[in-house]
C-alpha cells in the first residue's frame, strides 16, 4: 500500500517565530528572546489540552499529566515518516546530549499521529532508537488531532483514498510547563545546537 | 529538512569545474598567462582530490571501525572464517588468540603498512591506500564459546525469505574480516597476511572480493557510486555527522552483559548475484520503473534530483502511480516498512563465468544498523512479500550477520570485554 506524509500549518498560528521574537525581545542578553528559531509564549502560555490519550502501557494520560518538576518537549509525529519525524527526534536527542546538566530538567513526549500502525510495541521500539527514556503516547486519532490543534499544530487523521495512505505530522517541538501549558515552540528544522543553546535558559526561567 | 554536508570530503569535482570555468573567464580579462596559471592550479587541486584516497591512511576514528567511514575505498575483500577449536574453553582460547593477533597486526597495518611487517611484501612502493580493516563476530562464535547469554537479541537469525536462493557454503561464519583499500594489491595482501597469521586456529568459510569505481576514475569522486546494473546505489545514506547516523547505525546496549557491543553496529552481508543479461535486455525506461529511479541522475521518478524524497502518492495522467506499486524503492521505503532504516554499502563483485557459462557477478550488499530487526529484516520482508519488481533480476545466494564491536582506545583487541586476557 502506498503511503505519503505531509506537513501542514494552522493558519491561525502561522505567526513566525522571528516576528514574535522581535515583538517580545527585551534584552540583548536574553538568548530566548534573541532566538529566531523559537516562538516564546511564556508571557501568555497556551492552555493545556484537555484531551485524554493513553500511555504505551494503556493507562489513561492527559497533557496535565506531564512531569510536574520538569519541562516537556512535545512532538506530534509517526514512526513510518521518511524524514521530519526521525530527524526531529534525533535533533532533540542530540540537543539533550549537548545541554549538560540542563537535560535533567526535560522529558520528551511523542504523540503518534498514526495510532493505527504505531502500536505500543512499534512506538516503543522506534523511540528506543533515540532514547529509551522518551515517552510515547497514543490514542484515538480524532482526539489526537484535537490535542494537536489545541497547541496550534495542524494535523489530520490518516486518510486512505484510492489506495494512498496519507499521514500528517507536526513540525514544531512544543515546550510544555508542568501543568501542560505551552510556553513556547521550536520551529520545524531547529537544529540540535540551537535547541541545546536555549534549554538551560528555558529551564531557569520556566521552572 | 537539513541537507547533508560533509566538509571533510572537500569540494566536489563539479564545483571545481564550475570554479575553473569562472576562473578561465577572469583569466581572459587579465591575460592568457595568468589564466593558464589559475587553470593549472585548479587542475592540480583536482588531481590532489582524485589521489587523496590512495595517499590517505584510514583506521578507526571516534570509536567507529573504518568500514563506517566515508568516502569508501574502491576495493574490498570479505573473508568469513570458522574457528577450528572444539566448543567451550578451547574455542574461547582460540578466539582470544585470534583477536589478540589480529588486534596487533591490524594496528600495525593501519599505522605502518604491510611492507614494514613483512620483508618482500607486495605492497612495497605502494601508498597507504586508505587501508581499513574491520572485524565482525558471528553468533556461532559466542554460542560455541559458551557465551550464549552475551549474544544480543539483535543477532537473532535472519528469517528465511521465499525469494532466497542461499548456498550454505556462502552463509554465516564465526568471524569476519572486512578489508577495504583504494588499491587491490593493498587489500589482497592485507587479507593474506591476516588469515595467514592465524591459520592454525581458523578455517576460511567463504570469501568474496568486491569493488566500486575508483576515485581517480570518477568524474565526481564524491558522487554516489553505481552498481553493475548501472544504478546509483546508496542514496539516502546518512553521513556520520548527521544526527540520524547514531540512532540508525550504532547500537545502544546499557546492559553490562551486552556492553561489549555498546556503540558498535550490526552488519548484514548479502551476496546478491545479478542476472545482468536479463537486466540489460530491458528497455532503459523499464529498468527505471523496476527501481523507481532515473538511471541518469538517480532521482526518484517524478522528482528532479537524487536526494529528492520519493513522492509515493504521485499519479500520472492515466491514474497509475508514477513510482510503480512494485518498484523497489516504494516497497523498501520507511513509509512501507514502519520506519526501517540502515546504512547501505554496496560493492560489486565479478568472478567471471562459471563452467556452466553463467556469469558470477553482482552485489556484495552490506547493511549496517543499530538493530537488524528494525533495519534489514523488515525491508527484506517488504520486498519479499510485496513482489519486488527487481526480484527476477537478482538472486540472494549468500547471507550472514555479524556484530561489529566499537573500537575502544586502550583495548588491545576487538570485543576485549567478551574475550579478555
Using alpha carbons, list the distances in angstroms from residue B32 to B16, B35, B46. Answer: 20, 5, 21
Contacts of B169 (CB under 8 A, 6+ apart): B205, B206
Q: Is residue B342 part of a domain?
A: yes
How many domains does one find in chain B? 1
Smallest Cα distance from B250 to chain A, Å: 9
* Domain range for B390: 66-404
Q: Least CA distance to A83: which residue of chain B?
A: B1
Query: Is A68 in a helix, a strand, or coil?
Result: coil
Range in A79-88, A131-140, B5-14 with the lowest mean pLDDT: B5-14
Q: Is residue B279 part of a domain?
A: yes
Q: How many residues does chain A have?
A: 207
Report the alpha-carbon distance of residue A64 to residue A74 in Å, rounded: 13
Class of residue B199 by CB neighbours under 10 A (exposed 0-12, middle 13-18, buried 19+): exposed
Verify whether the Cβ–Cβ distance B312 to A2 is below 8 Å: yes
Which residues of B are less than 8 Å from A3 in CB distance? 312-313, 333, 335-336
Q: Is residue B410 part of a domain?
A: no
Q: Is residue B334 part of a domain?
A: yes
pLDDT tens-place string over residues B213-227 = 998 999 888 899 999
Span between the terminal Cα atoms of chain A, in Å: 46
Smallest Cα distance from B389 to chain A, Å: 15
Q: What is the DSSP letter of A112?
A: E
Please identify which residue in the block is written with the cell numbers 496550534: A152
Based on the residue annotation, tell me whether B220 is a catalytic residue of this protein: no
Report the alpha-carbon distance of residue B155 to residue B138 in Å, rounded: 8
Residue with the larger pLDDT of the pair A124 and B33: A124
Q: Is residue B54 part of a domain?
A: no
Which residues of A are less than 8 Å from B248 in CB distance? 86, 129
Smallest Cα distance from A43 to chain B, Å: 30
Widest CA span in chain A: 54
pLDDT of residue A18: 41
Query: Best residue in B338, B340, B379, B385 to probe A by mutation, most A CBs within 10 Å?
Result: B338
Peptide bond into B71 cis (omega under 30): yes
Report the alpha-carbon distance of residue B337 to residue A125 in Å, rounded: 13
Which residues of A are less than 8 Å from B311 in CB distance? 4
Instruction: Compute the count of residue pairs across chains A and B with CB atoms less than 8 Å apart.
Output: 81
Smallest Cα distance from A27 to chain B, Å: 30
Domain A3-206 fold: Glutaredoxin (3.40.30)
Which of the following is catalytic: B183, B201, B233, B371?
Answer: B233
Verify whether the Cβ–Cβ distance A82 to B248 is below 8 Å: no
Verify whether the Cβ–Cβ distance A1 to B336 is below 8 Å: yes
Which residue among A83, A90, A191 sits closest to B247, beta carbon to beta carbon?
Answer: A90
Which residues of A are less than 8 Å from B335 in CB distance? 2-5, 80-82, 165
Average pLDDT for runs of 10 along chain B of length 421: 31 31 38 70 81 86 87 96 98 97 96 93 95 98 97 97 96 98 97 98 98 92 94 90 93 94 97 97 98 97 95 91 96 94 96 95 98 97 97 98 94 91 85
Q: Which residues pair with A135 in a beta bridge?
A: A109
Residue with the larger pLDDT of the pair A18 and A197: A197
Report the alpha-carbon distance of residue A125 to residue B45 in Å, rounded: 47
Q: What is the DSSP letter of B164?
A: B
Report the alpha-carbon distance of residue B102 to residue B264 in Å, rounded: 18
Chain A residue set in contact with B, beta carbons under 8 Å: 1-5, 79-84, 86-87, 89-91, 93-94, 117, 122, 125-126, 128-130, 132, 164-166, 189, 191-192
Report the alpha-carbon distance of residue A123 to residue B401 in Å, rounded: 25
Class of residue B16 by CB neighbours under 10 A (exposed 0-12, middle 13-18, buried 19+): middle
What average pLDDT is seen over chain A?
88
The residue ranges of every structural domain in chain A are: 3-206
Amino acid at each position: 500500500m502506498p503511503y505519503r506524509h505531509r506537513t501542514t500549518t494552522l493558519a491561525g498560528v502561522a505567526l513566525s517565530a522571528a516576528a514574535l521574537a522581535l515583538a517580545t525581545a527585551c534584552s540583548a542578553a536574553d538568548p530566548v528572546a534573541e532566538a529566531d528559531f523559537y516562538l516564546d509564549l511564556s508571557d501568555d502560555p497556551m492552555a493545556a489540552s484537555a484531551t485524554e490519550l493513553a500511555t504505551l502501557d494503556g493507562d489513561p494520560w492527559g497533557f496535565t499529566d506531564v512531569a510536574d518538576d520538569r519541562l516537556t518537549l512535545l512532538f506530534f509525529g509517526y514512526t513510518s515518516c521518511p524524514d521530519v519525524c526521525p530527524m526531529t527526534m534525533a535533533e532533540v536527542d542530540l540537543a539533550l546530549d549537548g545541554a549538560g546538566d540542563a537535560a535533567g530538567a526535560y522529558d520528551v513526549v511523542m504523540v503518534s499521529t498514526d495510532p493505527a500502525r504505531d502500536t505500543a510495541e512499534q512506538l516503543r521500539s522506534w523511540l528506543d532508537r533515540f532514547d529509551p527514556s522518551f515517552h510515547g503516547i497514543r490514542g484515538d486519532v480524532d482526539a489526537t488531532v484535537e490535542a494537536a490543534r489545541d497547541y496550534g499544530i495542524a494535523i489530520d487523521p490518516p486518510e486512505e483514498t484510492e489506495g494512498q495512505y496519507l499521514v500528517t505530522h507536526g513540525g514544531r517541538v512544543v515546550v510544555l510547563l508542568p501543568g501542560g501549558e505551552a510556553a513556547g515552540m521550536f520551529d520545524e528544522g531547529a537544529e540540535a545546537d540551537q535547541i541545546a543553546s536555549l534549554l538551560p535558559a528555558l529551564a531557569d526561567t520556566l521552572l | 529538512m537539513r541537507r547533508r554536508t560533509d566538509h571533510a570530503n572537500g569540494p566536489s569535482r563539479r564545483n571545481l569545474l564550475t570554479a575553473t570555468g569562472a576562473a578561465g573567464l577572469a583569466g581572459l580579462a587579465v591575460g592568457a598567462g595568468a589564466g593558464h596559471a589559475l587553470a593549472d592550479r585548479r587542475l592540480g587541486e583536482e588531481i590532489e582530490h582524485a589521489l587523496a584516497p590512495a595517499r590517505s591512511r584510514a583506521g578507526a576514528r571516534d570509536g567507529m571501525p573504518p568500514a563506517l567511514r566515508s568516502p569508501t575505498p574502491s576495493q574490498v575483500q570479505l573473508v568469513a572464517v570458522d574457528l577450528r577449536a572444539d566448543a567451550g574453553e578451547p574455542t574461547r582460547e582460540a578466539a582470544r588468540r585470534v583477536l589478540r593477533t589480529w588486534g596487533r597486526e591490524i594496528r600495525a597495518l593501519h599505522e605502518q603498512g604491510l611492507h614494514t611487517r613483512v620483508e618482500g611484501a607486495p605492497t612495497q612502493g605502494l601508498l597507504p591506500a586508505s587501508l581499513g580493516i574491520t572485524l565482525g563476530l558471528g553468533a556461532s562464535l559466542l554460542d560455541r564459546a559458551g557465551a550464549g547469554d552475551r549474544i544480543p537479541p539483535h543477532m537473532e537469525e535472519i528469517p528465511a525469505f521465499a525469494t532466497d536462493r542461499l548456498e550454505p557454503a556462502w552463509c554465516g561464519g564465526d568471524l569476519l574480516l572486512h578489508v577495504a583499500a583504494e588499491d587491490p594489491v593493498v587489500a589482497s595482501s592485507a587479507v593474506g597476511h591476516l588469515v595467514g597469521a592465524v591459520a592454525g586456529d581458523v578455517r576460511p568459510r567463504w570469501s568474496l572480493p568486491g569493488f566500486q569505481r575508483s576515485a581517480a576514475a570518477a568524474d565526481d569522486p564524491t558522487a554516489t557510486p553505481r552498481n553493475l546494473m548501472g544504478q546509483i546505489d546508496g542514496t539516502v545514506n546518512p553521513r556520520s555527522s548527521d544526527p540520524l547516523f547514531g540512532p540508525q547505525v550504532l547500537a545502544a546496549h546499557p546492559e553490562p552483559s551486552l556492553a561489549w557491543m555498546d556503540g558498535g553496529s550490526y552488519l548484514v552481508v548479502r551476496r546478491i548475484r545479478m542476472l545482468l543479461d536479463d537486466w540489460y535486455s530491458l528497455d532503459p525506461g523499464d529498468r527505471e520503473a523496476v527501481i523507481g529511479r532515473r538511471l541518469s541522475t538517480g532521482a526518484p521518478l517524478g522528482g528532479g534530483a537524487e536526494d529528492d524524497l520519493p513522492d509515493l502518492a504521485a499519479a500520472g495522467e492515466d491514474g497509475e502511480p508514477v513510482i510503480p506499486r512494485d518498484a523497489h524503492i516504494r516497497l523498501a521505503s520507511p513509509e512501507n516498512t514502519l520506519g526501517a532504516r540502515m546504512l547501505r554499502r554496496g560493492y560489486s563483485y565479478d568472478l567471471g563465468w562459471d563452467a556452466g557459462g553463467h556469469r558470477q557477478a553482482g552485489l556484495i550488499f552490506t547493511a549496517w544498523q543499530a538493530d537488524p530487526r528494525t533495519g534489514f529484516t523488515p525491508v527484506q520482508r517488504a520486498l519479499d512479500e510485496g513482489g519486488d519488481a527487481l526480484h527476477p533480476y537478482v538472486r540472494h545466494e549468500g547471507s550472514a550477520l555479524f556484530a561489529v564491536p566499537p573500537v575502544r582506545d586502550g583495548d588491545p583487541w576487538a570485543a576485549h570485554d567478551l574475550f579478555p586476557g
